Amino acid sequence: MAQVTVVCGPPGSGKSTYVKNRAKSGDLILDIDTIWQALSGRPYYEKPSALMSYVLDTWESLIDRVDEVESYHAWIVSSLPLAVDRQRYADRFNDADIETQIILLDVNEYDCMDRIAKDERRAKHVEGWKPIVRRWFDAYEPRIQ
């Protein structure tokens, strides 16, 4: 049976690292940052806005195909601050009889910024990350009851 784990949390919370430390050979890993890099050829966190529609189309196409394979583990890495968006993923895959787990990484804003400052891919742009991280925390909604 296919299994989907959606790993979400603020920028700098360790979503990609969480998946990297748990995924096994043959698992499907969908990470929007990796898609940006693959389509742009730019450094990992440099995201040319002109490519956004291509990135989002690729993302949606890959998400649409997750339920096509019957036995593997898919990992979806996305920030998803809104409870309704997290629930939408859970419902989508549960409706397809795919075991789905939503993992929300509980990392505070200070620790996220500290991790970003220590990440060589992002350290030169720490000031640019502050409003992005702040927006995530401003938008965050806990679980839907």
Task: List the beta bridge partners of residue 73.
Answer: 3
> What's the pLDDT at 29?
95
Amino acid 84: pLDDT: 95
- pLDDT of 144 reads 61
Q: Which long-range contacts (CB under 8 A, 24 or more apart) does 59-68 make?
A: 59/30, 59/32, 59/35, 62/30, 62/35, 63/30, 66/2, 66/4, 66/28, 66/30, 66/93, 66/98, 67/2, 67/93, 67/96, 67/98
Q: What share of the chain is helix, strand, coil (3-state, %, to 5)?
A: 50, 15, 35
The domain over range 3-139 is classified in CATH as 3.40.50.300: yes
- Looking at residue 51, what is its pLDDT? 95
pLDDT along the chain (145 residues), means of 10: 92 97 94 93 86 96 85 92 94 89 96 95 90 97 73
The helix/strand/coil state of 134 is: helix
In this prediction, residue 44 carries a pLDDT of 78
pLDDT number for residue 2: 83
DSSP conformation letters of 21-68: TT--TT-EEEEHHHHHHHHH-S-TT---GGGHHHHHHHHHHHHHHGGG
- Spell out the residues 6+ positions from residue 54 whose beta carbon is closer than 8 angstroms to its own: 39
Task: Please state whether the predicted TM-score (pTM) of the whole model is above 0.85.
Answer: yes
What's the confidence (pLDDT) of residue 45? Answer: 79
Give the per-residue pLDDT at 53.
Answer: 97
For the chain, which residues make up each domain, given as ranges? 3-139
